[in-house]
Amino acid sequence: MGDRPDVPDWMLERLRAAATALPECREESAWIGHRWRVGQATVAHIFGGEDELFRITLRGDPDDVAAFTHLGSPYFKSDWGSNVIGMLVDEDTDWDEVGELLAISYCIQAPRHLAERVDPQSAPDPKSPQA
């Protein structure tokens, strides 16, 4: 097995910026990479693969999962979870889209009283401090 690279700080900063508007959403280290959770539910997980590529997984509606899977790269279907959307991320990623997907994932995973406080269509702009 090859080594997995650490997620670059600039990627984490973009996700942190998007997660700030999500009530009670917290970042923590995961078995690989970092994840954001609400309660015990994972909202997003970003990690480096043995192939040196970075991936984020989020939750989505089943129809959205199918649509993203059919789009192909940078999207992929995870081998686990019927509502998991996977996406390769790099310097060319549309981070506005990632912010919206993060908000949608949060609304799926969060308790109703928290999810009702979030509008996925107005997700914060996850600008990088280095942009």
pTM attached to this predicted model:
0.88
Do β-strands 54-59 and 34-38 pair in parallel, antiparallel, or remain unpaired? unpaired
**What value does the mean pLDDT of the chain take?**
89
pLDDT surpassing 90 at residue 129: no
| pLDDT score recorded for residue 68 | 87
| Tokens encoding 131 | 């942009």
| pLDDT score recorded for residue 123 | 56
CATH code, domain carrying 44: 3.90.1150.30
44 closest CA partner among 120, 53, 55, 52: 55
For residue range 91-128, list pLDDT tens digits in order: 999 999 999 999 999 999 999 999 999 987 765 555 54
User: Considering its fold, how many domains does the chain have in total?
Assistant: 1
- Please report, in angstroms and rounded to a whole number, the separation of the first and last CA atoms in the chain: 34
Would residue 123 count as lying in a domain? no
Range of the domain at 88: 9-113
109 closest CA partner among 42, 25, 27: 42
